[in-house]
Structure 1
């Protein structure tokens, strides 16, 4: 019965099993019975059973129903409670959307986005919602006088749900999801799974800032039941720690195993030759940004600039933290970088040589096709050997901040981060005894290096002068320039993914 004090709570017996089904929000139309998984719809004071919902799969998320916290809305700290969850699956992986109950009886959404979190609320578009195919990935459009860029236009489907829900797309039926992002970090999503399409707007949030209570405790996350199966290629045992993992590699034969369709006889694999040995072992803990991160995945990627035939390579380590999600540690000949997918998108016109993000200007350094050539470990998106994207890498005037744009089918992802010194990386993983292996081209300038005297400087200048004479002689004798700067594509920096 309805609560006469608040008129926000309604409870009725499930038409499937008789267990109580509760609605806290007036916006909740649907609910999933926690006992028999019946999907029910509220019609006045009567619940009607309309089917059965697939059970949600446990994943790496620390969130769960009943968890509560506070969120700054319109300058005020507003409490909320998680009362429902929908799990979606798209071409780039799967994700959760949690329904958050607010004191005024309305619902907001706490989404898990690229290992980060985004808090959104329903909002009008200010005009008729265009057809999904009108939003081309990479284009810019204005909403209420504010510029957004289209970051995503892909097909997704509802795979499971629990708790109470304001809307419900048909289970397993594909629909279009469009996301627009602004340069100040705002996200605007259009869900075409219902009629009319649902619109949400919001910003990225850090879980620590939400002051949440009732999260999964550390023990329950650590002791999650791991999936075990035999490799479809060599038969060796394979253990998967995170239930959200979409692909992994066999520890014996290094084959890539596709888990996006579940564990069973339908599993596909791809054999990998010429294995690459990660310098930082899977499972190792490194401390960055005051938190401890675990290496859960590694991939080697290759790149080539348009019209060129010289390939360059770099490594990417996928790091995981229970509350902060995922970040990437990138190892290239230019040095080390710590990056994460951005929630917002810089103001950028396709093909431009510069862009601006969070008040900082960035200049284009490289544009190239990137291809995944070797992977090991677990990944929260389906990794395929030979997977390609088109990347554009930008750098701030200081050379410390980096920005990368990756374009794949149906999605454009931006990643942002900073270059870090090799000493920092070695210290983070307690591998200072192997510091020489971490050194890259990010060493200090020669003249500012400690302990260099005048005699050394003069000697260096003489050597440089002799080299210039030799290069000049070679150039004049060949009739054309045979020299290529090592700062071109050879130092290619990558964002390290950016998959939903």
Structure 2
């Protein structure tokens, strides 16, 4: 199948004829630097990008670029929020899990090895370009699941049958593939605005307030004034969910603030406030750079840290594991807690709303933290390290409202005294298990007094650290 670049007519070529399938939806021009004609090298083999399909699911969208290698072999380059994977079809036998049985964060045996389910999606094809190996168009739906194991990547495609087609591959970067003929920054900005109008600000369809955003980058907007959730991944912005006027949450870094970091330009496009099970809250600021993609600045009571989504996952992981290993470094388990979004404003590359819940596991090695975040649809891993307030002031200037001289995020976490107290209390209850069974009423009261004497000072010290 081929899609004409000039009139968007889809043409299907089979053994005997060429058929006109009618118009194919135009792709939504986005932030991706890849385009039809981009070239690169993978495993000493040269390839050219000859086609693309664009898929949309409940929380966002992504591109699948069709690659043709010089030796005639084809592959797919997945392009989602600046993360890239190359996969090719794998011919193999063996049992494979049913689509309905899959859960993010769980391990499944595939090709004789355990893989962690990363994303389970049902997506609609919303556009196509160039040459494609099969017929796509209005109504084409993809049922896919992605799995990770270290740097390895597997996709199971359930779109056409209960038994999936297996695609295997690896996480890559544009630099590692020596990509050429990429779109430059100016071209990306012009093209991203072409489909929906060249906009730097959008009037909220709900309340009329101006919302700054970057065309082509943004899947969803949350109006800072009325908290309405707006779909920005369509030619016409539409309100997804009406919000209520809320008291403004103070922002330490203003939306729209720009900084030059490691010779790349970044813009703060969104901000979320989250809370854990115990009510501790923190802010997360989403940054976007044309070449660097998306990253986060996280503001907690202990200070600041910078965070990036990881392309390479721990090679071995199980929920509740005491340690994980990445790049030959061992990270020890630190926390396991639930989090909820209590406030969001600005632009995001996926659909976000107050009330979104995530299960978080944190691991540490020195000052470096790893965090897994799991929802009903996906699991992600991120790596973070401390950033000083002085450095943020140097980057953002007057747009940074934080206290200069404040420390970077402290090693040990946001509840370190309380967590230590919990371990002591559990140890105390363990060694008093037999007295508790023999004389419950008397021993229980003394144990309760002892637990309070340990935990309350720890709670006080944690709160002293916050102030």
Q: What is the TM-score with the length of structure 2 in the denominator?
A: 0.81
Go from structure 1 to structure 2 and tell me whether the alpha carbon gap of 1:357 and 1:433 turns closer, same or farther (over 3 Å shift).
closer
- Asked if the contact 2:230–2:238 (Cα under 8 Å) also holds between the matched residues in 1, the reply is no
The equivalences for 1:419-430 within 5 A come to 419-430=386-397
| CA deviation profile, 1:243-274 (whole Å, cap 9, x unmatched) | 24221133654544243566256653323412
The equivalences for 1:285-296 within 5 A come to 285-296=258-269
Paired position in structure 2 for 1:118: 85
What 5-or-longer segments of structure 2 have no aligned partner?
413-448
Matched, 1:31 2:5: no
1:364 deviates by: 2.0
Paired position in structure 1 for 2:67: 100
Q: Distance in 2 between matches of 1:477 and 1:343?
A: 43
Structure 2 counterpart of 1:323, from 275, 291, 314: 291
Paired position in structure 2 for 1:88: 55
Structure 1 counterpart of 2:158, from 192, 195, 198: 192
Go from structure 1 to structure 2 and tell me whether the alpha carbon gap of 1:298 and 1:274 turns closer, same or farther (over 3 Å shift).
same
The equivalences for 1:36-435 within 5 A come to 36-44=7-15, 46-71=17-42, 73=43, 76=44, 78-168=45-135, 171-183=138-150, 185-195=151-161, 197-223=164-190, 224-225=192-193, 226-227=198-199, 230-238=203-211, 240-250=213-223, 252-253=225-226, 255-259=228-232, 263=236, 267-304=240-277, 310-346=278-314, 347-396=316-365, 398=366, 400-430=367-397
- Tell me the number of residue pairs that the alignment of Structure 1 and Structure 2 aligns: 422
Paired position in structure 2 for 1:23: none
Q: Distance in 2 between matches of 1:210 and 1:104?
A: 17
- Asked if the contact 2:32–2:82 (Cα under 8 Å) also holds between the matched residues in 1, the reply is no
Secondary structure, in 3 states, of the residue corresponding to 1:61?
Answer: coil
Q: Distance in 1 between matches of 2:363 and 2:130?
A: 43
Q: Distance in 2 between matches of 1:356 and 1:444?
A: 19
| CA deviation profile, 1:411-457 (whole Å, cap 9, x unmatched) | 11111232233333333334699673461464799xxxxxxxxxxxx
Structure whose residues are more often helix by fraction: 2
Secondary structure, in 3 states, of the residue corresponding to 2:403?
Answer: helix
- Asked if the contact 1:256–1:272 (Cα under 8 Å) also holds between the matched residues in 2, the reply is no
- Asked if the contact 2:264–2:291 (Cα under 8 Å) also holds between the matched residues in 1, the reply is no
1:408 deviates by: 0.7
Once superposed, what is the RMSD of the aligned Cα atoms? 3.1
Go from structure 1 to structure 2 and tell me whether the alpha carbon gap of 1:482 and 1:152 turns closer, same or farther (over 3 Å shift).
same
What 5-or-longer segments of structure 1 have no aligned partner?
1-29, 305-309, 446-474, 493-500
Paired position in structure 2 for 1:484: 458
Secondary structure, in 3 states, of the residue corresponding to 2:187?
Answer: helix
Go from structure 1 to structure 2 and tell me whether the alpha carbon gap of 1:350 and 1:488 turns closer, same or farther (over 3 Å shift).
farther
- Asked if the contact 1:312–1:489 (Cα under 8 Å) also holds between the matched residues in 2, the reply is no
Q: Distance in 2 between matches of 1:316 and 1:300?
A: 6
